[in-house]
Structure 1
């Protein structure tokens, strides 16, 4: 079957009234909406992100937040529920504030507020654009400048707050470490006082003391041994001779000879055994002289010798007792020194642990003190606004003309959409229509070749009904639809609010961005 443009064009004209109604209805509605939508104005300010005024190598701020991250934080703070409602009430953006749902105000305000950071080339200055879209030019510019003021205040608050918090943290850390140092120093001092006689630094001294005491003990034992030998000789001499050791001037020749032989016998016994002939000779001579000396002694001499014997024996015993006491004291001191020497390795380990903990805390304290100085410098920089900051390059001015809606675009788009929908409806009707309307349809569908065909001619009544339907459709499209839209806008809800509600409920809010692309 060949395509016949004349036939399809005739069909289009027969169904032109459908096309006209649909295209007229959509176009009239779009033109009415474009005319009745309230004008919106857009105002924006330019904010410059300045670099720190003090070189980083001389003094750096403790706030290291990047500009992009800082902008995001400020944007979140400025668009919180409380902040948005506060701005709306302060600037009186919504005259019928009491009639509106707070959730709608928050959503609408967040869509109207713009805080953007344009992407620039590397090495160029960082700028921010702060803007607002509103119904009146004066209010729009005022709200944009209010946003700029709040942005600058938030920037200062964030940076000074972070710097102050950093300073307070290191002040607390230094105070904590200082108290910990004092506590550990006190523990070290207490440990040294409790173990002052068993510390590693005095180990060599105590060892030398122990060696000295041991040498002294050996010397006392030698002296004690000599004194005990002297006592034994004194007792032996007195028992054998009845005399005691006196000076050589008071002795008789026999006594002096006896004393000499006794000394010689003592020396010989150190070398020879008691069975040695020389020893036996000396013992025999000593026995003979003792008998002679004993016969020479009288009663008076015997009494004096006994008194002198008792005196010398008591003096020797007193010296031996003193030596015994000294030995006990020295042995006790040696035992005490040995105890402290044995305890020194354990004390050394504990003292090293205490000193190591003290050293670690001291290094942390020194680091914290240095960082505290840096934090004080950083806080000073932020308080004096010498670090990174935001400054207004160009404030928002009252816009001279609306930025949206783009009325020509909406009107032209609605006309185009109406035409497309009208044509689509006509095409759809043709596609679903399977009736026979041409001789070629009889031949192709029924296999019959007609001799002649007669066209369908409407009666006057049918033409009147057809014309009435067209007139009513055009009336509805051109007059009724705009009037209905006007009535909704005037008596029910403003058209822009109604559209936004419908878009929110249907989830087509993104269409607002397409419709609202305005002229600057």
Structure 2
């Protein structure tokens, strides 16, 4: 059996045969479309155009702290303005949706208000100054509001535009202020870290003041100097010991006293100068016991003794030598104090040397006086031999010098040990000291970097507060609309007519498919494969009509009950029907 294929004539026959199913729904729907198109309330739209102006001052000079794209920032501002609290404040302020507010929750009113707001970006082709390539950029945007009242649409739109302008200024200012405050807080943290590290370094230097890495060269030089001084002292001690042995031998060959009215020097009679020297030394000792070293007579005798000693080739006394060394040491101490503080090692060393020379000078002067007073002039022995006295004095001076050198060697050894310990500790503390200084340098560099960024942030904040950065400018304020924005009644009517006809034709074909059967001579011939002998039409009795009418009424009744139950359930469990009606109207008005 061949598959049944219907042609255009068959479809036209269906439409003609089911003409009432096509015409009646089409007429009903066309009337409903016309009623909806002309009874829908007019909605007016008021909008304002806001221009996005770039930063007045070049970004190379002052960088703004707000770096987001304009469309992102606009969307953020929109979300802040569209919060439930602000939306409800506007709804209450302008008394929007008075009937709906009494029956619907706030969330549905807020959703309806948000649907009435429009934010549309205005883009243009621009050239990127950095890459030189063309791109699409947002240069402005439109803010609109739709309402049944043109006056309310204009007032609310104007309020929304003002909110966008104010919120942009507030957002940029707050962002700049937050950036500056954050950088300042971070800078203060690093400042405290730097100060703490500086205190640690200062405490570390106080604890290891003599073993710091920067003193390593000085400590090494002091070790070298002390080692050299120790060797020199040892050599000098050996030389003095040799001199003492030699002078002791010479002293053993000399008589300590001269015969009466004579003086002997090395077994020879003394000259007049030698007698004068002995007499001058005796008088000098007597005057020194009575007067101070600054007395004119003492000074004159001292000069006379020095002159006679020079004439006889005798070296100056120990007192004179120590006096000269003391004067030199005091001069060196004054020069050192002009360069360094009293705590400097050189100054301390010179102060110790001056003190030591003062003690040695006092001791030498006392011994000189006692030596002279101890020599008793005897009528039997005669006058003291000056050469013997001179050699004896040299031996005593050398022995004292050896004692001094030994004491000095002990001090030098102690200092040498101290400086060697400093050098040993320097290698131990260097690692900890380097860690502290490295942390200090890193934190100081970060602190300086944050302070520089903070300065930039402060300039950016001033840029925003003085409205020199990127800003929004209102170039077209919202006006009271004179023409309804929607609905488009002609469009709704045309679409309604087309949909009505399509619905009627569709209903006819649906019924044909469900309750079709074989109709007409051609269909019967096509089904049985041959022409029928007789075609008898369907004979409908009154009983069949009553039965068909009852069935139709039952179906319509059940459908109405089900529809009512669905509407009630939707109203209570899904969405309020009034809100649904407003949304449907908005969607229809978009057409």
With the length of structure 1 as denominator, give the TM-score of the two structures: 0.71
CA distance in 1, matches of 2:70, 2:530: 83
Could you list the runs of 5+ residues in structure 2 that have no partner in the other structure?
128-136, 269-379
Are 1:392 and 2:478 an aligned pair?
A: no
Q: Report the counterpart of residue 64 of structure 2 in structure 1.
A: 61
Q: Report the counterpart of residue 76 of structure 2 in structure 1.
A: 73
Change (3 A) 1:245 1:95: farther
Deviations 1:8-27 (A, max 9, x none): 65654443332233223333
* Correspondent of 1:122 among 115, 122, 126: 126
Are 1:368 and 2:450 an aligned pair?
A: yes
How far the C-alpha of 1:333 sits from its partner, in A, is 0.7
Q: Report the counterpart of residue 89 of structure 1 in structure 2.
A: 92
How far the C-alpha of 1:72 sits from its partner, in A, is 1.5
CA distance in 1, matches of 2:475, 2:535: 82
- 432-441 or 315-324, larger mean C-alpha shift: 315-324
How far the C-alpha of 1:137 sits from its partner, in A, is 1.0
Within 5 Å, which residues of 2 pair with 1:227-238? 227-228=240-241
- 55-64 or 83-92, larger mean C-alpha shift: 55-64
Q: Report the counterpart of residue 172 of structure 1 in structure 2.
A: 185
Within 5 Å, which residues of 2 pair with 1:71-220? 71-96=74-99, 97-122=101-126, 126-220=139-233
How far the C-alpha of 1:405 sits from its partner, in A, is 2.0
- 158-167 or 336-345, larger mean C-alpha shift: 336-345
CA contact (8 A) 1:203 1:341 kept: yes
Secondary structure of the residue aligned to 2:119 is strand
Are 1:38 and 2:111 an aligned pair?
A: no
CA distance in 1, matches of 2:117, 2:80: 12
CA distance in 2, matches of 1:9, 1:333: 129
CA contact (8 A) 2:14 2:509 kept: no
How far the C-alpha of 1:147 sits from its partner, in A, is 0.8
* Correspondent of 1:377 among 454, 459, 469: 459
Secondary structure of the residue aligned to 1:53 is coil
Deviations 1:211-243 (A, max 9, x none): 3322322233234334555667789999xx899
CA distance in 1, matches of 2:52, 2:165: 11
CA distance in 2, matches of 1:4, 1:230: 153
Within 5 Å, which residues of 2 pair with 1:273-422? 320-422=402-504
CA contact (8 A) 1:115 1:130 kept: yes
Q: Report the counterpart of residue 590 of structure 2 in structure 1.
A: 517
CA distance in 2, matches of 1:21, 1:466: 19
How far the C-alpha of 1:155 sits from its partner, in A, is 0.3
* Correspondent of 1:249 among 264, 269, 272: 264
CA contact (8 A) 1:48 1:125 kept: no
CA distance in 1, matches of 2:441, 2:498: 83
Change (3 A) 1:346 1:250: same
Are 1:427 and 2:506 an aligned pair?
A: no
Change (3 A) 1:498 1:37: farther
Deviations 1:177-203 (A, max 9, x none): 333333333333333333332334443
How far the C-alpha of 1:141 sits from its partner, in A, is 1.1
CA contact (8 A) 1:237 1:244 kept: no
With the length of structure 2 as denominator, give the TM-score of the two structures: 0.63
Deviations 1:47-87 (A, max 9, x none): 00011122333333222222122112112212222222222
Q: Report the counterpart of residue 267 of structure 1 in structure 2.
A: none
**Aligned residue-pair number:** 444
Could you list the runs of 5+ residues in structure 1 that have no partner in the other structure?
254-299, 504-508
Q: For the aligned residues, what is the CA RMSD?
A: 4.4
How far the C-alpha of 1:43 sits from its partner, in A, is 1.2
CA distance in 1, matches of 2:548, 2:24: 13
Secondary structure of the residue aligned to 1:107 is helix
- 119-128 or 446-455, larger mean C-alpha shift: 446-455
Secondary structure of the residue aligned to 2:124 is coil
* Correspondent of 1:498 among 570, 574, 577: 577
Change (3 A) 1:395 1:448: same
CA contact (8 A) 2:43 2:484 kept: yes
CA contact (8 A) 2:70 2:138 kept: no
- 437-446 or 123-132, larger mean C-alpha shift: 437-446
